Amino acid sequence: MQTFTDLNLPEALLNATAASGYTTPTPIQAQAIPLAIAGRDLQLSAQTGSGKTAAFVLPILTRLITSEQRGKKPRALILTPTRELALQVQDQVRKYGRELKWLFSVPLVGGAPYGGQIRALKKGVQIIVATPGRLLDHLRDERIDTSALDMLVLDEADRMLDMGFADDLGAIIDALPENRQTIMSSATWDGAVGKIAARYTREPERISIKVESAHIEEKVYFCDDQGHKNRILEHLVADPDMGQTIIFAATKRSSEEIADSLRDNGHRARFLHGDLPQVKRNRIVEDLRKGKCDILVATDVAARGIDIPAISHVINYDLPRQVEDYVHRIGRSGRAGRSGVAINLCSLADRSQLSAITRYLERKIDEHRIEGMEPKITSKPKTKPSKKFRGKPSKGYGKKFDDKKSWGGKKGGKPFAHKGGKPFAARKDGGKNFRKQQAST
């Protein structure tokens, strides 16, 4: 069995990996690290939790350790789509560089004061971990000397493009030296991300680790309608054996309403989406990390970068719009070799989306049923699904609910609520008190 020693890492990095409890590299690390140390451009595809971050952080640190000229100018730039992911990468840099007293790195992300970032840049850093928007601000104000930069990482490049950073990426990369090593990671290499890769990498080596979920049990529950879906959801989250859970919703509004109604039924639930202030988003994620919250209802963008080992379940209330997002979602569970469960709630309209996901995964997702809540629909689509995967969010979350038929909660079976429908009458405060509570946390 291969070990980190076999990868010819410097002693300081071997000590750091051992101190972190790692002796054996993951498949993506075993393949990527030697090539990256050799200076090759790379295109990496691997699911969340595969150890991908260390696959580029360790080679960067190796280059700095073995370099004769360290200096105070940035040598490596790591770009990520979100603040949360950037901070996690920064943590990895610090963890593996723990013995390198001369090493300085700085996260340049939104939601943080400019002052501290400017002071760090003036003092001198070897590694910058950044989001595109904030980095571009510093570049435009000429606070960063990129003349010595010879390593660039575009982590989750497909996500950055999906979030509208294409122009920012172009402006940033054009400001960097051409004689550099470039490492990109992406779930897919089609379309815009393929064009970016072709333009900015030189004879790249592509490493793709097949989507595996050895530690994740995948299930699908078919739902006849919205009310049926909500009853199944409440039954699932009421299971005392269920650990911390992330529920994915398609819209900001539905994430709030699902969380509100779960809270009304006795669950410690929070919602997370992009409209929340950054300080509040950080606090919610930290509460989840500390176990103060059992259920997080989130949109895809807001959940990017969340890495909490205690999360055991992921529930796709709405199936993702892109098949690649399915891999990112379920990867939130089953971290670090732990077992996890990924549950999909699939309506009649979602069946073609589910087919697209299973084709992409090249495996079947087993159907499960709850006694007394069996669906009337079948799992087999009547028509051949489209090759293109374009999901649709659940329309009018909870609309046209029948109070008597809607969801049975823990304490007396409170109906699932919706702002615009009659079932909200069962909640005198309309969920306002919970929002006030959340705003004060």
Question: pLDDT tens for residues 316-362?
Answer: 999 988 777 787 788 788 765 677 899 999 998 888 889 888 887 77
- Give CA separation, 113 vs 81, 144, 185, 216, 280, in Å: 19, 17, 28, 39, 16
Lowest-confidence range among 179-183, 361-365, 386-390? 386-390
- Specify the CATH superfamily of domain 4-208: P-loop containing nucleotide triphosphate hydrolases (3.40.50.300)
Answer whether 262's CB lies under 8 Å from 297's CB. Answer: yes
**Residues forming a β-bridge with 340:** 216
Answer whether 414's CB lies under 8 Å from 426's CB. Answer: yes
Place of tokens 């999909």: 344
Answer whether 113's CB lies under 8 Å from 278's CB. Answer: no
With cut-offs at 50, 70 and 90, classify the pLDDT of residue 379: low
Q: What is the mean pLDDT of residues 393-419?
A: 39
**3 state DSSP class of 67:** coil
Q: What is the mean pLDDT of residues 424-428?
A: 34
Please give the CATH architecture assigned to the domain spanning 216-440. 3-Layer(aba) Sandwich (3.40)
Task: Check pLDDT > 60 for residue 389.
Answer: no
Is the pTM higher than 0.75? The answer reads: no
Q: What are phi and psi of 216, to 5 degrees?
A: -120, 120
What is the structure's pLDDT at 37? 97
Instruction: Select from 188, 213, 189, 232 the least CA-distant residue to 364.
Output: 213
What is the structure's pLDDT at 28? 92
Lowest-confidence range among 111-125, 139-153, 405-419? 405-419
Task: Give the angle 291-246-227 at the CA atoms, nearest 5°.
Answer: 125
Q: What is the mean pLDDT of residues 99-123?
A: 95
Q: What is the mean pLDDT of residues 211-232?
A: 85
Answer whether 97's CB lies under 8 Å from 16's CB. Answer: yes
Q: What is the mean pLDDT of residues 185-200?
A: 90
Longest dimension (CA), the chain: 74
What is the structure's pLDDT at 395? 44
Place of tokens 């992911």: 85
Residue ranges, CATH 3.40.50.300, the chain? 4-208, 216-440
- Give CA separation, 326 vs 47, 251, 375, in Å: 10, 16, 23
Task: Check pLDDT > 70 for residue 414.
Answer: no
Other CB atoms within a 10 A radius of the CB of residue 432 amount to 11
Q: What is the mean pLDDT of residues 239-268?
A: 93
> Tokens standing for 214?
């050895």
Q: Chain-wide mean pLDDT for the chain?
A: 83
What is the structure's pLDDT at 244? 92
pLDDT tens digit string along 24-67?
Answer: 898 999 999 999 999 999 999 876 667 899 999 999 999 999 98
Q: How far apart are CA 372 and CA 141, in angstroms?
A: 63
What is the structure's pLDDT at 325? 78
Q: How far apart are CA 386 and CA 265, in angstroms?
A: 38
DSSP 225-289: SHHHHHHHHHHHHT-TT--EEEEE-SSHHHHHHHHHHHHHTT--EEEE-TTS-HHHHHHHHHHHH
Q: How far apart are CA 171 and CA 167, in angstroms?
A: 6
What would you report as the CA-atom Rg of the chain, rounded to the nearest whole angstrom? 23
With cut-offs at 50, 70 and 90, classify the pLDDT of residue 212: low
Instruction: Select from 221, 276, 339, 212 the least CA-distant residue to 83.
Output: 276
> Tokens standing for 361?
């995964």
Other CB atoms within a 10 A radius of the CB of residue 320 amount to 22
